[in-house]
Amino acid sequence: MYSSSLAIRVEHVSQRFRVIHERPDTLRELFSKFLRHTVQYHDFDAVKDVSFTVQQGEMVGIIGRNGSGKSTLLKVIAGVYRPTAGRVEVHGSIAPLLELGAGMHPELTGRENILLNGLLMGYSKRQMLEREQSIIDFAEIGEFIDAPMKQYSSGMYTRLAFAVATEVDPQILILDEILAVGDTAFQTKCFDRIQHFRDSGKTILLVTHSMSQVVEHCDRAILLDRGNLVFDGIPERAVELYTGSAPLPEYAHASS
C-alpha cells in the first residue's frame, strides 16, 4: 500500500519519439511513404527507465543539460504525454506551467484567458470571477489585461500564466523554466508565493538552469543525463555533479 503522503510516483518510465529523417512536401506524400514503408526514421529515447517518488510538501528540482529529458519528463508527469513504458501516479490536483504561452489562446484577451484556464482546470465561471481581481493584481500587466494575448511580451505571458496557476490553489505545481523570462523583481515575487505554497504543504517540481534557485529553494534535486536519472538527493551534491566539479556516477551512461 502506498503512503498517504505520496504526491507523485514515477515507475520505470521511458518516453520514445520517432524522428523522421526526411520532410515530405505534403501529408499525402508522407502517408504514401508510410504505407510503402519507405520513410527513413530512427527512434529516440528522451527518458530512459526513470523511477522516483515525491512526497507531499516537497520541492524537487530537476536539472540537466539541454536535451537531457527534463521537459519531457515533466510532460509525462503532467499527462501531456503517455509514457512509452512504465507508469506515473499522481495524487492531487496539478497545475503545470510547462512552456511559455501553454494553455493561453493568443486571440483572446488576458481576462478571457483567465476564465478559459480556470474552466480547463475544473473551476466554475463563478469561482474564476471571484479570483479574477487577485490574479490581475498579481500579474501587474495593467490595461493589457483586456488586450489580445498575441500583443503580450514574453514577460507579460509569464506573469499572467503564473498568477493563474498559483491562484487556483493546486496541490501540485510544475514549473518548467517559466520564470526564466521574468524580471528580477517578479521572480522574487514568484518565489515568495512559492514559499507560501511550501509552507501550506504543497508539492512543487521545478526545472531550471539556475543552480542558485535549486540550492536555495529545493529539498531534493534530480539530475538527468541523456535521459537517465543519475542522481537523486541533496541539491548541493546534484549541482556539483551537474557543473562537473564532481564526476558523474559510473552507471550514468549504462542505458545510453
As a whole number, mean pLDDT of residues 176-184 equals: 72
Position 252 confidence tier, pLDDT thresholds 50, 70, 90: very low
Concatenating the DSSP letter of every residue in 147-210 gives SBGGG--HHHHHHHHHHHHHHT--SEEEEESGGGGS-HHHHHHHHHHHHHHHHTT-EEEEE-S-
**Chain segment 197-214, per-residue pLDDT in tens:** 889 999 999 999 999 999
Cα-Cα-Cα-Cα torsion 132, 138, 140, 145, nearest 10 degrees, comes to -20
**Chain segment 30-59, per-residue pLDDT in tens:** 666 666 666 566 789 999 999 999 999 999
User: Which domains does the chain carry?
Assistant: 6-92+171-253 (3.40.50.300), 104-169 (no CATH)
> pTM of this prediction?
0.81
**Chain segment 153-167, per-residue pLDDT in tens:** 888 888 898 899 888
CA-CA distance, 223 to 35, in Å (whole number)?
41
